[in-house]
Amino acid sequence: MSREVTLIIDGREVSATEGEMLHDAAKRGDVEIPVFCYEPKLGDPVGACRMCLVEIEGIPKLQTSCSTPVRDGMVVHTRTEQVKHAQSAVVEFLLVNHPLDCPVCDKGGECPLQDISMGWGPGKSRMTDQKRHFEKPIELSPLVAIDRERCILCYRCVRFSQEISEDSQLQLLERGDRTFVGTFDDRPYVDPFHGNITDLCPVGALTSYTYRFRARPWDIEQAGSVCTLCPSQCNVSFTVRDEQVKRVIARDNPDVDDGWLCDRGRYGFEMFAAEERVSEPRLRGGAVNWDEALAKAAAALKAGGAETAAIVGDASNEEGYLVQRVLREALGSPHVESRVSHGPSRNTMLRLAQPELSARVRDIDDADAILVVGSDPLHSSPILDLRIRKAMRRNGAKLVVATDRPTTLDGGAAAIVRYAPREASAFLAGLAADVGTPSSLATRRSDAEVLTPDAPSSSRAKRSEGVPTSAEVLSNAERVVVIWGERIAREGEEAIGTLLGIAEALDLAGKEGSGLLEIPDLTNARGLREAGCLPDAGPGLTETKSMLSPSQGSNMPLVGKGTEEIREGLESGELTTLLLFGVDPLRDFPDTPAWQRALAAADHLIVFSTFENATTKMADVVFPLETHAEKDGTVTHPDGRLQRVRPSASRPGDIRPNWGVLAELSQTLGHDTGVTSQPSAFAALAEAVPFYAGITDADIAGRGVRWQDRDAAASLPVPESAVPERAAGAGSPGTPRDSEPGDPVPGAHPASSSLTLGTYRDLWAGPITELNPPLKFLQPRQRVELSLSDAKRLNVSSGDEVDVSQNGTTVRAHVSIRERIEPGVCFLIEGTAEDNANGLLNGSPVSVTIEKTAG
């Protein structure tokens, strides 16, 4: 495809790929050409700053090397008199309006303008006139300050807003040298990705309030790690001073994050030192020393024995692996989970894990079609939202969005399907039927509720001429990536069976660059499942019988309880002891009242937690957890990439590495895990998970390694029934295959007094906005989103306070009317500090009534 070419730069032969930009080729040939506006991450070059002018033989005028593709035999000069003259002219021009306040500028010492002025500038400026003045610095957002006098109008930040996050809030205003960067009506720039502009700005014009005046380049260190605040697992670099994190910046990894971070990962670090941080072991009476806490916990676990259950959440692979060993090996209990609600069985997990069916993040870039189903990436894996936008923008990928709640990706989608909450399986069944039997395309069953992306009016559902159905989009594409939310599985195992059937029908396994990519609920879900934190599968997704240690005899049941069963078991007394590792069921799991009862019923509750929360308040023993800035361990990305979280900052208080705590606990319980260090923990894991076999720290290095790309991948167990469940569920009862365009969303109740409740986990709901002061302004108040027609019918308007009730349980919320919400449904946020929607969920479809509060 792409040909290798050879060119000559400054007398040296450099080889490059045809079509590559001259600047990049030169860089690889160790020739540095200065740039300001050029940033390949932002898309096509714009050639605006003119810093990179070079001489190309045969072309009379100097050319911008950032935008000139290399050609074979090209002869390029970057240091001739003509070029030097141009470069120093451009530097001089840039300084015409740039203040000389480097000594008090936060960018000082790591400023491209400073560096380039030194290297390529004229030395001194001949400019004696007034520079332009702006009020400075002013608040661009509560997180970012803008100093417009320093801005050199390279447009990186506004291009980010237009072309990467596509929020279009940040714009250029005015013209010529009066141009400045700003927002509409001086509103704050609030967008989940906006912090990236501070990384992009080549001068000190855009700086983070969280870092202003905190450190200087010479007294900081950079430490590379992985952000584990969500399943995206972006690569980060911590700026550390006095062993404390002062800043988080992106550490480009095209296989994971493309060099971007969301604002959660970027600004969610002050909580590391929050008052609410659990920084030492605690018993009910208060802080205790480690020995006491370990003894108490061991005693509790011993008492619980096989009636103990564990649920693991925010944990490394090694931690998860050790928790399940404590349960299975030391206590003889099979009840290990790592999911917030129902999930598929081991066999389905195995089918999903087949390497040829698994898409890599990078595959999104080249996909011809992308299906997003059952998840809004913006909220559940933000960085994928940017990735999908990139695929559409740069590669023309066709997107199908199938969700209950409108997403921000709808605008660019080729087809949109809206189903009622908990009816993803109905959509999947219809799609399976459509893609399974090409002749049925004409019936367009799956798109009964298709919306044209261009008509987001509340008058739903009339498919307009020429808009393709989702089945058409997917069937007509060569490379298809299906991004699906783990939530679908809450509707039952068949839903995942149907998804696999669709994958089969589309031949995702057989087509290079195609596959499935999950957006799980928890950050290291894949790693924990593979490390054995599943009730019916041990490390490496092996059958649990192989886990039996001889000393436990053979009376251990093979399959443990799942999340809801654990809850019920605690309530019924079947289980007595619960170990929670990095999960907070009272906030994050559906059905809060039931969990409240379950935790209260437990004889012993041992909680490993980073922060105090409602769950730790009920615990008998609380152990502190490390954050991703402190932890040493591996995690596995949803696409199978093992990445390493590296300790970058010191642990506050009396926190110990958790692998050590777990190993010691096991020891105290009389079972030696043989784990004596983090490397030995990883070695034990890699030995226990056959398809991780042989992976070393060096393999993981800075960029991680996908286990599917290694030979050991072949040792993944073969699923029992790999027979495709062709069009699974197609005939099963309750699938709304017969609905016609214009019909109400299946399961919704338009015109009745109750609405079907949908819930979603908002990006900003949770401790992140409660414990990081700079992010506090983003903390969501509960709001109920509903359609204009329902609002009219219920006589409520935006901002009204209402009670959203079902069966006696009530959540208070503010009304938010949204054009693109279907009549008959409404949405609440899960995980809010108060009025958490999880309180209304009970595992079945929920109808709610909405009433204005008195007064």
Partner 1 sequence: MADFPVDQAVSEGRVPERSPELVPELHEVECPPELREQIETLIGRYPDRHSVSIPALWAVQRLYGWCTPEGIRQAAAVMRVTPAYLESVASFYDLLHTEPVGSHKVAVCTNISCWMRGGDELLDAFRAAAEGREDLFVTGFECLGACDIAPMASIDERYFGPLETAEAHTAIDQLLAGENVLPEKSLEKRPLAGDSDA
Partner 2 sequence: MPETRVLLEHAEDPALREIEGYKRYGGYATLEKAYREMEADVILKELEDSGLRGRGGAGFSMGKKASFLPRGEMAKYLCCNADESEPGAFKDRELMQRNPHQLIEGIAIAAIAAGAGHAFIFIRGEYDAQADILDAAVAEAYEAGYLGKDILGSRRDLELVVHRGAGAYICGEETALLDALEGKRGNPRLKPPFPAVQGLYGGPTLINNVETLSNVPRIVAHGAEWFRGFGTEQSPGTKVVSVSGGVRRSGNYEVELGIPTRELIYDLAGGPLEGREVKAFYPGGSSSPVLTPAELDLPYSFEAMAEAGSMLGSGSIIVADDSVSIPHMALRTARFYHHESCGKCTPCREGTNWTVKMLERVVRGEATPMDLDIISSVQDNIMGHCLCVLGDSMAMPVSAMVKKFRPEFEDVIASAAEASPIAAVQGVPETLGAAR
Return residues touching partner 2 (CB under 8 A): 45-51, 53, 61-62, 64, 67, 85-86, 89-90, 92-94, 96-97, 99-104, 126-131, 149, 152-153, 155, 172, 175-179
With CB under 5 to 8 Å by kind, the binding choice for 789 among partner 1, partner 2, ligand SF4, none is: none
Q: Which of residues 473-502 bind ligand SF4 (CB under 6 A)?
A: none
Facing residues of 518 across strands?
Answer: 484
Are β-strands 138-139 and 144-146 bridged in parallel, bridged antiparallel, or unpaired?
antiparallel
In the complex, minimum distance from the CB of residue 156 to partner 1, in angstroms, rounded to a whole number: 16
- Cβ neighbors of 585 (< 8 A, separation 6 or more) are 311, 340, 567, 595, 598, 599, 615
Write out the binding residues for ligand SF4, residues 126-155 only, by CB under 6 A.
Answer: 151-155
On the 0-12 / 13-18 / 19+ scale of CB atoms within 10 A, 497 is: buried
Give the residue with the Cβ less far from partner 1, 59 or 173.
Answer: 173
Nearest CA-CA partner of 768 in 594, 607, 627, 590: 627
- 9-26 core/surface letters (b: 16 or more CB in 10 A; e: else): bbeeebebeeeebbbbbb
Which H/E stretch holds residue 810?
strand 809-817
* Amino acid of residue 638: P
Rounded to a whole number of angstroms, the minimum distance from the CB of residue 27 to partner 1 is 33
Site residues (CB under 8 A) for partner 1, limited to 686-725: none
- Rounded CA-CA distance 294/279 in Å is 15
* DSSP letters for 699-711: HHTTT-EEGGGSG
The item of partner 2, partner 1, ligand SF4, none sharing an interface with residue 833, based on CB under 5 to 8 Å by kind, is none
Token pair, residue 122, equals: 């004229």
- Sign of the alpha-carbon dihedral angle for 480, 481, 483, 488: positive
SS3 at position 714: helix
Of the pair 105, 331, the CB lying nearest partner 2 is at 105
**Per CB under 8 A, 127 contacts partner 1:** no
Q: Which residue's CB is nearer to partner 1, number 209 or number 682? A: 209
How far is residue 182 CA from its own chain's centroid? Answer: 28
Nearer to partner 1, 207 or 524 (CB): 207
Minimum distance, C-beta of residue 625 to ligand SF4, in the bound complex (Å):
37
Rule CB under 8 A: is residue 276 a binding residue for partner 1? no
- The amino acid occupying position 794 is L
Residues 408, 486: Cα–Cα separation, whole Å: 19
Helices (H), 710-782: 767-771
> Closest distance between ligand SF4 and the C-beta of residue 116, in Å?
13
Q: Are 491 and 422 in contact (CB under 8 A)?
A: yes
Residue 538, φ and ψ in degrees, nearest 5: -95, -170
Query: Which of ligand SF4, partner 2, partner 1, none lies near 545, with the C-beta cut-off 5 to 8 A by kind?
Result: none
The answer to the question of residue 240 lying near partner 1 (CB under 8 A) is no
Q: Report the partner that residue 470 touches, choosing among partner 2, ligand SF4, partner 1, none (CB closer than 5 to 8 A by kind).
A: none
Instruction: Report the alpha-carbon angle 290-294-298, nearest 5.
Output: 175
By CB under 8 A, name the one of 15, 80, 168, 289 that touches partner 1.
168
200 binds, among partner 2, partner 1, ligand SF4, none (CB under 5 to 8 A by kind): ligand SF4
Smallest distance from ligand SF4 to CB 209, Å: 15
Q: Judged by CB under 8 A, which stretch of 22-30, 185-193, 388-396, 586-594 contacts partner 1?
A: 185-193
| Conformation bin of residue 37: beta by default, left when phi > 0, alpha when psi is -120 to 50 | alpha
Distance between CA atoms of 162 and 155, rounded to whole angstroms?
Answer: 10
| 555-614 positions binding partner 1, by CB under 8 A | none
Cα–Cα distances (Å) from 802 to 610, 669, 691, in that order, read: 34, 52, 52
Give the tokens for residue 389.
């936008």
Q: How far is the CB of 351 from partner 2 (least distance, A)?
A: 42
Contacted by 183, from partner 2, partner 1, ligand SF4, none: CB < 5 to 8 Å by type: partner 1
> Burial, 256: exposed, middle or buried (Cβ in 10 Å; 0-12, 13-18, 19+)?
buried
| Binding partner selected for residue 201 from partner 2, ligand SF4, partner 1, none, CB under the kind-specific 5 to 8 Å limit | ligand SF4
- Report 426-465 residues binding partner 1 (CB under 8 A): 456
Query: Using the rule CB under 8 A, which residue among 120, 189, 484, 589 binds partner 1?
Result: 189
- SS3 for 777? helix
Three-state helix/strand/coil letters over 814-843:
EEEECCCCCCCEEEEEECCCCCCHHHHCCC
Task: Give how many residues touch ligand SF4 by CB under 6 A.
Answer: 14
Q: Give the single-character DSSP code of 780.
A: P
Judged by CB under 8 A, which stretch of 162-170, 336-344, 704-712, 836-844 contacts partner 1? 162-170
Measured CA to CA, the distance from residue 609 to residue 611 in angstroms comes to 6
If contact means CB under 5 to 8 A according to the sort of partner, which of partner 2, partner 1, ligand SF4, none does residue 126 touch? partner 2
- DSSP three-state, residue 539: helix
Among 98, 156, 418, 710, binds ligand SF4 (CB under 6 A): 156
AA identity, residue 691: F
Residue window 780-819: x/- pattern of binding to partner 1, with contact defined by CB under 8 A: --------x---------x------------------xxx
Q: Which of 7, 22, 105, 157 binds ligand SF4 (CB under 6 A)?
A: 157
Q: Which residues contact 771 (CB under 8 A, 6 or more apart)?
A: 270, 271, 274, 276, 611
Going by the DSSP 8-state scheme, the letter that residue 157 receives in this structure is H
Q: Is 165 in the site for partner 1 (CB under 8 A)?
A: no
* E strand or H helix that includes residue 237: strand 235-241
Identified binder of partner 1 from the candidate list 184, 295, 572, 715, rule CB under 8 A: 184
Is the CB of residue 510 less than 8 Å from the CB of residue 355?
no
Residues 206-245: x/- map of binding to ligand SF4 (CB under 6 A)? x---------------------------------------
41 binds ligand SF4 (CB under 6 A): no
Q: Does 85 bind partner 1 (CB under 8 A)?
A: no
Q: Which residue in the set 191, 314, 591, 785 belongs to the binding site for partner 1 (CB under 8 A)?
A: 191
Contact call for residue 209 and partner 1 (CB under 8 A): yes
Q: Minimum CB separation from ligand SF4 for residue 205, in Å?
A: 4
Nearer to partner 1, 174 or 465 (CB): 174
The residues binding partner 1 (CB under 8 A) are 139, 141-143, 167-175, 183-191, 209-210, 212-216, 270, 411, 456, 772-777, 788, 798, 817-819
Which residues contact ligand SF4 (rule: CB under 6 A)? 151-157, 181, 200-203, 205-206
